Structure 1
Amino acid sequence: MARGARKRRDRFVERRKQLLEALVRHGLMPAEAAARRALAGLDPYQLRVKALAEALPAHHVGRALFHLNQRRGFLSNRKTDNKKTTEDGAIKQAASRLRDSMAEENAETLGVFFANRHLSEKYLARQDKLRAELKRIGKDHLTGNARKKAWAKLRKRMFGNDVLDAGEAPDGVRARANITGTKASYDFYPTRDLLIDEFNKIWDAQAPHHPTMTEAARDEIAHIVFFQRPLKDAIVGKCTLAPATRPFKEDPEGYRAPWAHPLAQRFRILSEARNLEIRETGKGSRKLSKEQSDRVVLALLGNKEVTFDKLRTLLKLPVEATFNLESERRTALDGDATAARLSDKKGFGKAWRGLALERQIAIVEKLLEAEVEADLVDWLERDCGLEPEAAARVANTTLPEGHCRLGLRAIKNIVPILQDQLSDDGVAGAGYHEAAKRAGYDHAKLPSGEQLDYLPYYGQWLADAVVGSGDARDEKERQYGQFPNPTVHIGLGQLRRLTNELIRNYGPPAEISIEFTRALKLSESQKVEVQREQRKNQEKNKARAAELEKFGFPANPRNLLKLRLWEELNLRDPLDRKCVYTGEQISIQRLLSEEVDIDHILPVAMTLDDSAANKIVCLRYANRHKRKQTPVEAFGGSPTIDGRRYDWEEIAARAAALPKNKRWRFDANAREEFDKRGGFLARQLNETGWLARLAKQYLGAITDPNQIWVVPGRLTSMLRGKWGLNSLLPDHNYAGVQDRAEEFLASTDDMEFSGVKNRADHRHHAIDGLVAALTDRSLLWKMANAYDEEREKFVIEPPWASMRDDLKAALEKMVVSHKPDHGVEGKLHEDSAYGLLKQPELVDDGDKDGANLVYRKPIESLNDNEIDRIRDRRLRDLVRAHVDAEKAKGVAIADALRQLKGPSDHPHFKHGLRHVRLLKKEKPDYLVPIADRRTGEPYKAYSAGENFCVELFETADGKWDGEAIRRFDANKKNAGAKTPHAPRWRADHLGARLVMRVHKGDLIRLEHDGQSKIMVVHRLDAAKGGFKLAAHNETGNLDKRHATNNDIDPFRWLMASYGTLKKMSAVPVRVDELGRVWRIDPR
C-alpha cells in the first residue's frame, strides 16, 4: 500500500508539472513563478462558476483548469470494481448521492455544487427544510428530472428570491471517509466524468474569448489531466495440454481460459457429468448411461446448481443410492454459473439461454475485457438491445473468477468428445482423461530432450507451468517465470541447490525419494481448513475422553478410536449401533470389552491402509470369520460359519449407513476399485498432489521419472513410529508433553503411541528424509506381509540392525542449514510520517526532555493516554473534559470521541473535530529524516523500523562493540564503496577492526556451557547492545517456549551482549546444503 501511495504521489507531481508547462505554453498561465503564485490567492471555486457565464482573463481560466487537476475524480474500472469490495460499494453510493444533490441544487457542474458548499449555515438549514417539506408532501421518492423540477418549485415557494451571502460558515468540499468500525461511507464522491464534463463546458464557454484555446490545446490539456494508465494485464498461465509458444496477444487460446467463459463452464459440466458414478452399497458402482449423463448435463446447463437429491429424483434412483462426487461437504454439483448470473430477470432474462453459443461467447468476452463501464453499457444497449437499466445491471454482474487449467484451443478439441462419443459398452462418453487422450493430448508427457547433468532453474524445465517474459536480458525469474506462492518458489529453489550439491559431491542419482512438508503442499485456505478440522477433531476427542472417564475407562488412543468408530455405526441414534456383520447391538460397555474388535474392512496385507477410513468396530468372532478378506468375499454368499448365519443384504443395508469413505469398501468390486484408485504400490509411492506431480516432473530433468518416488507423509509417519525414531531427538519428552496429547486429540487416524516426533527440533526433517530414502517397492512388499492380526499392528524390522544408533550418532553431529537473507531489499522505514519540532515541547509538567515529533491521528481512534498528548493544550483540556464527563455516564472512550467527529451542539466543537495533532518523543538515532529538496533542511521523519544488520568491531583496546545499520541507510548507494553505507564507528574509533557483520538469521559459532555451539541470531537487539540467539535446531514459537515452565520445555533464549560474544569466542559461520560448516571472512 505504501509503495502504491508513493507511485500515485509521484505520478500526480509529474502530471501537475506537465500541466503547468502546457498552460504556460498556451498562454493560460504566466511564465513567471511569482505571477503564478499570485494567482493562488484567487478562489478557484468562484472562478469555476464564473467561467461558465462570463469572459475571464486567460490566466484566470488557467487557474480554474489547474484546479480541476488537483482532484480529478474517481474513475470506475469494471475489472477492479466488480470485486464487490465494501469500499467500492460506498464510493458508488456516494457518487449517486452526489448526482442527486446536484440535480436538487440545479448545479450545472461539480464546480457550481462545490461553490455552493462554501456557503453558510443558513444554506444548510434551508436544504434541511426543503428535504423535510419534500418528504411531508410525499415527493421525496422522486428521482432525476422529476425531483429536480419539484425541488426548484418548492424552493421558489418557500424562499422566493432570498439569496444567501457567501462565507458565513464554509462547508467541506473534500470526499472524506466516515469510518464506523471496519466500514467506510462518504457523504459524496466526485467521479471523473463530472470533471470531464465541467472541463468541456468551461473550455466551450471561454474558447471564443481566447485565440490560444485551440482544439489542439484542448486535446493536449485534457489528456494530461484525465489520462489514466490502463490496468496491467494479469499474468495468465499457459494451457496444461496445449501451451502457447507466443505472447498472449498473439495466441490467447494457448493460455488458460477464464472460468467465466461459456466453453469453460460447458467443459467443467461435461467433465463432471461423464465422471459421475452411481453407488449402491453391496452392488458396487456403475457409470451413467449416455441418456442419464445427458440428462444431468442439461440440468446443470440450465441451473446454478443441482443437488444430489434432485439428481436421484431426475434419474429415478433409490434414496439410498449415492454418487462418487457426493460427500457431507459437497451436496450439489455446480451448474453454469455464468448463464445463471446473466439470465437474471433484471439482466438478459430468459433470452440469454436462447442465444446461440457463439453470441454468448462474444458477450462474455466483451464483459471480461471492458474496463470503462459507460462504454460497456452503451455497447449492451446498442448491440444487444438491452434497456438502460438492464444494461447497467449486466455491466455490474460479477462473473465467476479464476482460470481453468486448459486453454480454449484444448477445450474446443475436448468438449465435442465429451459431448458426443459413447464408450465401447454404451455408457456415457469418455471421461476427461480419456477424452484428452482421444484429442491427442497426453498428461504424462514430460519435456522432451536429453537428461541434464544438473537441475536448471525450475522455470526453464517447467515452462508450461509458469509464465515469463521470454526476454534473455531479464533475470531468470522474470525471463522464465516463477510461481506466485513464495513458499513454493523458495522450496523448489532449495530443492535445486540441494540436488545439485549432492550431484557435485556424489554423482548422479539412481533413485530419488522425496516427501513434502504440509507448509509446501497446502495453500493458505487449505491450511486454514486443516486447522479448523483439527480443532473440530480435538473437541470431539475431548468429549469422547470425558465420556470414557464417566464410564470408568481409560482415555487411551485405542479406546478413543473405538469410541469414534462406534459413533460412526449410527451417527443419529446411539441406542441403535449394531455390528455391521452380525446385526447385534453394541453398547458402550460391550464396545470397550474384549468382545469387540477393530476390523480393517479391506485387508491391510492388500492395502497397507491402517487409517480410520478403513476401520470399523465389530464383534470379535465376526472378525475371526472374516479373516483376511473383503466383506463381500467373506459374507457375500450369506454363509453360515460355526453355526452363525451372515445375511449379506442386511450387512449391505447396515453398511449403507456408514460414512461415505467406508461404504465403497463393501462393494463387490472393492478390490478392483482399490486398484483403480491407485493400488497398493502406486498409492504409497506416488503422492497425487499438484506440487508432488510438479516436483517429480522437475526432478525428471536429471533421472528416469520411473525411479522417482514422492512419498506421502502418512507412510513416513508410520515407519518412523514403527522403527522407534520419534524418541531420538533430545528433549522429545519435554517438547511433546503437551503436544503429544493435543496431536492425538487432533488426529483423524489411529496413532500407535510409540511417541510423537519432536516438531520443536528442525532435525525431525532429517529423520523423515532418511525414512523417505529407505522407502521403495521392496520395503513396501515386506510391509504387506508384516501385519500381525493378533496384535493388530505392523511388525516391521529396520533395514539394518544398527540403523537407530547410526541415525542417532548422525543427528548429534548434524548442523541445520539456514537460508541467509542479506539483501538490502525490504521496508525502508515505518509508514507513519512525523513532523519535526524545532524546539522540544513538554507533554506534561513532569516531562523533562520534551517531545520532538508531531503527527496527526483521527479523533475517534485515540486511546486514553493519547488524549494527554494532544499538542494544542486548550484543545487537550477540552477533549479530556468531554471524555471524562461521558465516562462518568458510562460511555466508552471511543464512543465519547466519536461524538466530537460530526457537527454537534457542543460549544467548542460545533462543526466537528476530525483529526488532532499528537506529540511524540523518539531518539534521533531511530529516525529517518526527510529533507526539503529546495532548502536541504529536514521537515519530516519516519521511524527507522527494523535494522538491516549490526557491525561488530573491536576497538584498539581490545573491546567489542557494535553499530546497527538501518535498512534505510543500507539502501543508500555510496559510489565506489564496498558496503552500501559507511558506519560511524570507522571514523569514531581509529584503529578498530571489523569482527563480523551480523544479519537476522545468521549463524554464529561460540563457546557456551563448556561446549562449542552453533546458534542462530533471531533478533538484533541494538538498543540493549546484543543479540537474542537460539540453537540452530530449535524451532516453533520460541518466545512462547521461553516463557513455558522449565519442566515442560527447557528451551531458553541466549541473550548475549557484544562484549559477552567476545568472551564466548564467537565467529560467523555458514552451513551449506550438505551440512558442512564454513567460517566466514568478515570482509
Structure 2
Amino acid sequence: MIDDPDTIAYLNEIEDKPTQDKEEGAFKADISEVRKAITLSGARTLGEYLHQLDKGVCKRNRSHEGGHLRTDRAMYKDELDLIWQQQQQFFSDLPADFMEDNKGVKEIIFYQRPLKLKKDRIGKCSLEPKNNRASMARLEVQRFRYLQDVNNLQYFERQTDQWLAFTQADRQKLIEYFEQHPKITITALKKLLGLDKLTKINLEAKNLKGNITACEIRNVLKDRWDNYSDKEQFNLVEDLLSIKKKSALKTRLIKHWGLGAEVAIKLCLLEFEPSHSNLSLKAINKLLPFLQQGLIYSKKDQQTGELGALQAAGYSDEIKEQEVSNKLGAPLETSNPIVNKAMHELKRVVNALIKEYGKPDIIRIEMARDLEMNTKRYKENEARQNKNKKANEGAVEAYKGLNLGKYPSYDDKIKYRLWEEQNRRCAYSNEMIPLHSVFTSSVEIDHILPFKKSLDDSYMNKVLCYVAENRNKGDRTPKDAWSGNVEKWMQITQAISKWKGVDSKVKRFHQTEADLQKRDFISSQLNDTRYISKLALDYMAELVGNSNVSVTKGSVVSQIRHQWGFNDLIGEVEKKDRTDHRHHAIDAVVIAATSRSLYTKAVKQIERDKLKIEPPYPNIRNELAERLEQMIVSHASNRKLSGALHEETGAGYIEKHGGLVYRKNLTPDFTVKNAKQIVDDTIKLIVLNHLEQYDNDPKKAFADNIKVMHKDGKTPIKRVRVLQSNTTLKKLEQNKVSIKDKSGKVFKYMSYGNMHHVEIIQNIETGKYKGEFVTMMQASHRAKGIQSKLNPEGKKLPLVKVDHGDEWQFIMALHINDLVSVSVDGGGRIYYRVQKLEVPSGLTLRLNTSSTIENKIEGIRKSITALMRNGLKKHFINAIGVCADDKTNH
C-alpha cells in the first residue's frame, strides 16, 4: 500500500510516462484531473467539491456515461483528518490515539487485506521440507535460475551432427550478459557468442530470463548498484522485499542507505516478481557454488563419476534407509488449496484403512489428473487449446470444401494440423502435399520415435508423411533410417528447422535407438510424476519406505485393463466408461495388481506387438463384477455456509400493478412477450410499435445502432419497467429478502439464493410429511446469531432445527450430495445422492454411481411425500467405504 505523501506526489508527476501501464496511466491522469478541479473550485476536500456540483445529479465513475470521476485513498484520508480536527473540540475526552491505534477508526476504514500470500501459505522446499520456498525476487534465486539455463545451453553443430556445450569463456560471457539483461533473446545470444543465425540452440523455445531484480534496481541506481559489494546488494534487496510500508521503506533508504529522496521514491515504486521458487534459500545457497562451477542441476554418470549440482551439494537421489511410521502424520501444506485438500483426504482414508486392516506392505499410486494447474500453466494451456480449436475449425472447413462430408474424424483433424505445421510438406521427403491428399490414405500419421519402442503417443511424437516414406522408415527413428544418406538427412534437417513452436518434436528427429534405451522408459513411466503424485509418493513413503511406493501412468495399465476384460463391467461397450464413478475402482484393482515385473513384461510384449497378460487369478473378473454391483460411491456432502445469500437482480413492488416490477434493458433478447409486460402503457405502446416495424424480431429491433425514442423524439428509451409476477405484499415479506434505504423504507425485494438444506418433518396426528427448506441466508443467520425475520431472537442456533413444535416430528435433514436410498419391489434398495433441493416440496436425486447429470434415466424428481412413502433413508459412508444408516439424520 502506498502510504507516503511524497511517493504519491511523485506518482502524479510521472503519470504521463510512456513506460506505465496504459490503463493505470489513464486512472492516474483522471485522479490528477479531479485533484486540479478540487483546487480550482476552492474546496478543501473531495466531499466538499462533490457537494458543490449540481444538486441531485448522481455522480458515477462510468466512462460510457461520460464520467471519469477517479479518486484515490489519500483523498479520503485527508478528508477524515480534517473532519477529526473539527470534531476533537467536541470530544475532548477521547484518547489522543483514538484515530491512530490498531483498532482505531483509520484501521477500520482503510485496512486493506494484503494481496500477497502470508508466510503460512508459502509452500515448503522440496529439498529442505522444514523451510519455506524463497521469493523469486531474491538475488540468490535470480542467479540460481539463470545459472541453470547457462549451464544447460547447447548449440547444434551441423558438421558433426551433435549438440555441444559452450566453452568456459563463452559461459562467462553468458553469465555477465544474463546478469545485465532482464530478458534474453536467442538472436542476441547468437550475436554475443559469434554464432550464425542458422545455428540451433537447444533452449530456443524457452523464455530465458536474466537477473530481473538487479536490472530493475540498476535502472534506478545506475553505477552505484554495481559498486555495492555482494553483501550490500543482498541487504538492499532484503530491505526492498521485506519492508512493506512505503513510508518506512523511504525513510530506511534515505537514512541508512544515504539515497536522495527522489531515488528512494523510485526504489519504493519498483515491482518485483511476486512468485516463489520451488526451493528454500537454504537449499539454493547450497546449490549455487556448484552451479557457478558449471555443473548442471542434476546428473550422475556411473562411468565417469560426474555429478550434478544436486548430487554434489549432498542431495542424493539414492534410496536411503529411512524411518517409517505406523500411520500418516500431518501432510506438508502447499500454496495450492486443491493439493492440500487431496493430501488431507489421502491421510484420512489411509489412516482409517490402517486402523481397520493394518499397515500395508506395498503402496501403488496412479494419478490421472494434473492438479498443478497454476495461473501460468492455465494460460499456456488455454492458448494451446485456442490454437488447436482454430486448426480444427480449419480442418472442418477444408473437409467440407472437398465435399467429403461435414464432420472429419479425429485423425483427419490431426492430419490437417500436422499438414499446416509442416508447411504443407511431407516430413520425410519434403514434397508438397496437396490439400486433396491430406484426408486420403496416400498420406499417414507416423510416430517419429517408433511407438513400439517409445510408447510415446503424444502429439509431439507425430508427423504427416507419404505412405512410401513411412514404409522406408519402418520401425526406426528418422536418424537411424536416413543419417547414412547425407543428402537425404540434410534435406530433412533443413526442412524441420523451419517448423515453428515444436522444438521438442524436432529434437526427436535427432534421437537414435541407443538414445531411447538411455531414456529408460520403464523407469520414467514409474517415476515421472506431476506435483500431486510426487507429494503423495513422498507422503506414503512415511509408512512403507521409498522402495515400496510407486507412481505409474495409465498408458500400459489401460491396455492391461482391456486385456483382462474389465472395460465393459459397468458399460455396454468395450470402452472405459467415465460417466460411472466406479471406473476409479476398476482402475484401483488394476493398479494394485500391476507390479513392476508385470509392468516390465507388458512393455516388452507391446514392443513385440503381442500383448497377452494373464489376470492374477482366473475368477477375478467375476469377483470384481459382484463387488461393483454392491458398490456405493461416496460424495462429499455440501454443508458449508458458502454460496449466494440472495439473487443479484432486485424487483420493486407497485401496488396498483399488483406485483413485482423490475427494470430490463432493451436488448436483442427483449421479446414481444416482455414488451406486453411493460407497466407504463405509453412506453409499452412505443416499444410494441417499434418491434412491429422490424417484424417483431428483437435482434433487428434492438441492434446496437437502433434506438427507441420517447414521444419527444429526442430522449432514447434504454430500460423499461416490466411486471415480473402477480403477488401480495404479505407474500413478498414472507418469501423475499427486503432491501431498505437509509430511512428504513423497503424499496426492492430479492429472491433468496441457494438452499442450504431441507428439514423433513412429519405431522404426528395425520402422518403427512413436509419439507422446511432452509436458505443459505437463514442458515447463516442461525450460525452467526443475526437477528432478522429468519431468526427473530437473534441467538446462535444449530444449523439444523429439530424442534418444529409439538405437532411435528423431525425425520431428517438433507443437504446437497447427501447419500439416500429408496426401496424397490423385491425388497432391494437403490442408492442416490441428493442433486437438487426443489422448493417448495420436492427433491431431485441422482444415482450415486453417476458422474454426470446428462442422463435423465439416472435421475428422479419426486415430492418429499412420495419419496417418504417409498422408504427414503439417509446414509453415510465412512473413510474405508462402509455404508451405514445415518442415526443422527442431521
Instruction: Give the structure-2-normalised TM-score.
Output: 0.76
For residue 141 of structure 2, what is the aligned residue in structure 1? 264
Residues 1:220 and 1:502: Cα distance change in structure 2 (over 3 Å): closer
Q: Deviations over 1:173-227 (max 9, x none)?
A: x9x542347x996425364467548847995x999xx79969x965545654434
Partner of 1:761: 580
SS in 2 for 1:761: coil
Q: Which residue of 1 aligns with 2:843?
A: 1027
Q: Alignment partner for residue 1063 of structure 1, among 864, 869, 886? A: 869
Aligned counterparts of 1:627 and 1:918: Cα–Cα separation in 2: 73
Paired AA for residue 32 in structure 2: S
**Counterparts of 1:499 and 1:337 in 2: how far apart (Å)?**
44
645, 651, 660: which is aligned to 1:829? 645
Q: Which entry has the higher C-alpha Rg, 1 or 2?
A: 1
**In the TM superposition, what is the alpha-carbon distance from 1:1055 to its structure 2 partner?**
0.8
Deviation at 1:759, TM superposition (A): 2.2
Whether 1:508 and 2:359 are equivalent positions in the alignment is yes
Q: For 2:714 and 2:433, how far apart are their aligned partners in 1?
A: 78
Distance 1:184 1:713 in 2: 58
SS of alignment partner, residue 325 of structure 1: coil
- d(CA) in 2 for partners of 1:211, 1:629: 92
Other structure's SS at 1:257 match: coil
In 2, Cα distance between the equivalents of 1:891 and 1:382? 68
Asked if structure 2 preserves the Cα contact closer than 8 Å seen for 1:436 and 1:442, the reply is yes
Structure 1 residues 309 and 189: alpha-carbon distance in aligned structure 2, compared to 1, 3 A threshold: closer
| Equivalent in the alignment of 2:506 | 663
Unaligned 5+ segments in structure 1 are: 1-72, 125-168, 246-253, 425-429, 467-482, 639-644, 733-754, 1043-1050
How is 1:702-781 mapped onto 2 (pairs within 5 angstroms)? 702-721=543-562, 723=564, 725-730=566-571, 756-781=575-600
**What's 2:190 paired with?**
312
Task: Name the counterpart of 1:150.
Answer: none
1:952 to 741, 760, 767: 760
For 2:417 and 2:157, locate their aligned partners in 1 and report how far apart those are by CA, in whole Å: 22
Query: Are residues 278 and 963 of structure 1, via their aligned partners in 2, closer, same or farther at CA, if it must alter by over 3 Å?
Result: same
Structure 1 residues 196 and 859 mapped into 2: Cα distance closer, same or farther (>3 Å)? farther
Change (3 A) 1:558 1:855: closer
Is the alpha carbon distance of 1:970 and 1:314 closer, same or farther for their aligned partners in structure 2, counting shifts above 3 Å? Answer: same
State whether structure 2 residue 62 is matched by structure 1 residue 102: no
Q: Distance in 1 between matches of 2:50 and 2:459?
A: 71
User: 1:404: how far off?
Assistant: 1.6
Give 1:695 shift. Answer: 0.6
CA contact (8 A) 1:511 1:708 kept: yes
Q: 8 Å contact 1:381–1:387 — kept in the other structure?
A: yes
Report what 2:790 is aligned to: none
Counterpart contact for 1:521–1:689, Cα < 8 Å: yes
**276 and 767 in structure 1: CA distance in 2 versus 1, 3 angstrom threshold:** farther
Residues 97-127 of structure 1, C-alpha deviations (whole Å, 9 max, x = no match)? 23312332455x32xx7546545xxxx7xxx
Amino acid at match of 2:117: A
Name the counterpart of 2:775.
Answer: 966
The AA in structure 1 aligned to 2:324 is Q
Q: 2:523 aligns with which of 679, 682, 695?
A: 682
Amino acid at match of 2:578: R
- Structure-2 residue corresponding to 1:743: none
User: What amino acid is the match of 1:99?
Assistant: R
Q: CA deviation at 1:811?
A: 2.7
Partner Cα distance (2:239, 2:364) in 1: 48
Q: What corresponds to 2:419 in structure 1?
A: 567
| Alignment CA distance shift 1:521-1:714 (3 Å) | farther
2:697 equivalent in structure 1: none
Instruction: Please give the alpha-carbon distance, in whole angstroms, between the structure 1 residues aligned to 2:285 and 2:293.
Output: 13
User: Once the two structures are superposed, what CA deviation does each residue of 1:603-649 show, in whole Å capped at 9, x if it has no partner?
Assistant: 555433344544556677776776655454555445xxxxxx99655
Q: 1:805 to 1:454 in 2, by over 3 A?
A: same
2:69 maps to 1:187: yes
1:1019 maps to a residue whose letter is K
Q: How do residues 535-684 of structure 1 correspond to structure 2 at under 5 angstroms?
A: 536-537=387-388, 540=391, 543-544=394-395, 550=402, 560=412, 563=415, 567=419, 571-574=422-425, 577=426, 579=428, 600-604=447-451, 606-616=453-463, 629-633=476-480, 635-638=482-485, 648-650=489-491, 652-653=493-494, 656=497, 659-667=502-510, 671-672=514-515, 675=518, 677=519, 679-684=520-525
Alignment of 1:449-468 (within 5 A): 450-458=323-331, 462=332, 466=333
- 2:118 paired with 1:235: yes
Task: Return the alpha-carbon distance in structure 2 between the equivalents of residues 914 and 77 of structure 1.
Answer: 42
Is this contact kept in 1: 2:666–2:720, CA < 8 A?
A: yes
Partner in structure 1 of residue 637 of structure 2: 820
Q: What code does the residue aligned with 1:1018 have?
A: Q
Deviations 1:837-884 (A, max 9, x none): 9xx74152xx2xx45xx9999999x989999999xx9xx789889999
SS in structure 1 opposite 2:756? strand
1:137-183 Cα deviation digits (max 9, x unpaired): xxxxxxxxxxxxxxxxxxxxxxxxxxxxxxxx6477x9x542347x9
Secondary structure (helix, strand or coil) at the match of 1:520 reads coil
> Within the alignment, does 1:336 sit opposite 2:185 as a pair?
no
Contact map agreement 1:1006 1:1066 (CA 8 A) in 2: yes
Q: Summarize the alignment of residues 992-1071 of structure 1 with structure 2, pairs less than 5 Å apart.
A: 992-1008=808-824, 1012-1023=829-840, 1025-1036=841-852, 1038=853, 1040-1042=854-856, 1051=857, 1053-1071=859-877
Deviation at 1:452, TM superposition (A): 1.9
Q: What is the identity, as a one-letter code, of the residue corresponding to 1:187?
A: L
Is the contact between residue 684 and residue 715 of structure 1 (CA under 8 Å) also seen in structure 2? Answer: no
Find the aligned partners of 2:170 and 2:374 in 1 and give their Cα distance: 36
The normalised TM-score by structure 1 is 0.64
Q: What letter is aligned with 2:506?
A: R
* Residue 692 of structure 1, CA deviation: 1.1
In 1, Cα distance between equivalents of 2:579 and 2:440: 38
Cα offset, 1:958, TM superposition: 3.4
Q: What displacement does 1:782 show?
A: 1.9
1:288 aligns with 2:166: yes
Residues 497-540 of structure 1: CA distance to partner in whole angstroms, max 9, x if unpaired? Answer: 33234334443222222222326353466456546645644654
- CA gap 1:106/1:637 in 2 versus in 1, 3 angstroms: same
CA shift, 1:401, in A, is 1.7
- State whether residues 579 and 585 of structure 1, in contact with CA within 8 Å, keep that contact through their aligned partners in structure 2: no
- Which of 326, 331, 342 aligns to 1:491? It is 342
Residue aligning to 1:404: 277
CA deviation after TM superposition for structure 1 residue 264, in Å = 2.1
Distance 1:221 1:781, change over 3 A: closer
Distance in 1 between residues matched to 2:445 and 2:649, nearest whole Å: 66
CA deviation profile, 1:305-362 (whole Å, cap 9, x unmatched): 12223323333345444333333xx4x4122333444455xx4457655655444444
Distance 2:621 2:391 in 1: 36
Structure 1 partner of 2:312: 438
* Cα contact 1:562–1:617 (8 A) shared by 2: no
From the superposition, tell whether residues 897 and 387 of structure 1 become closer, same or farther in structure 2 (CA, over 3 Å).
Answer: farther
- What is the Cα deviation at residue 696 of structure 1? 0.2
* Of 885-894 and 1054-1063, the range deviating more from structure 2: 885-894
Q: Aligned-residue CA RMSD in angstroms?
A: 5.6
Change (3 A) 1:704 1:191: closer
For the structure 1 residues 551 and 301, does the alpha-carbon distance in structure 2 shift closer, same or farther, using more than 3 Å as the test?
Answer: farther
Seen in structure 2, the aligned counterparts of structure 1 residues 1018 and 690 have a Cα distance that, compared at 3 Å, is same
Change (3 A) 1:220 1:440: same
How much does 1:1021 deviate?
Answer: 0.7
CA distance in 2, matches of 1:579, 1:711: 34
Residue 301 of structure 2: aligned partner: none
1:257-310 Cα shifts (integer Å, max 9, x gaps): 222223322221112211223345783433333222232222222223122233
- For each residue in 1:807-841, what CA deviation from the matched residue of structure 2 results, as whole angstroms up to 9, or x when unmatched? 44433332212223345x33482276989x9xx74
Q: How does 1:852-931 map to 2 (within 5 A)?
A: 923-927=732-736
Identify the match of residue 106 of structure 2 among 222, 226, 234.
226
What is residue 518 of structure 1 aligned with on the other side?
Answer: 369
In the aligned structure 1, how far is the partner of 2:450 from the partner of 2:613?
17
Matched residue SS, 1:701: helix
Q: Is the 8 A contact 2:875 2:884 kept in 1?
A: yes
Whether the 8 Å contact between 2:322 and 2:545 is mirrored in structure 1 is no
The alpha-carbon deviation at position 395 of structure 1 amounts to: 3.4
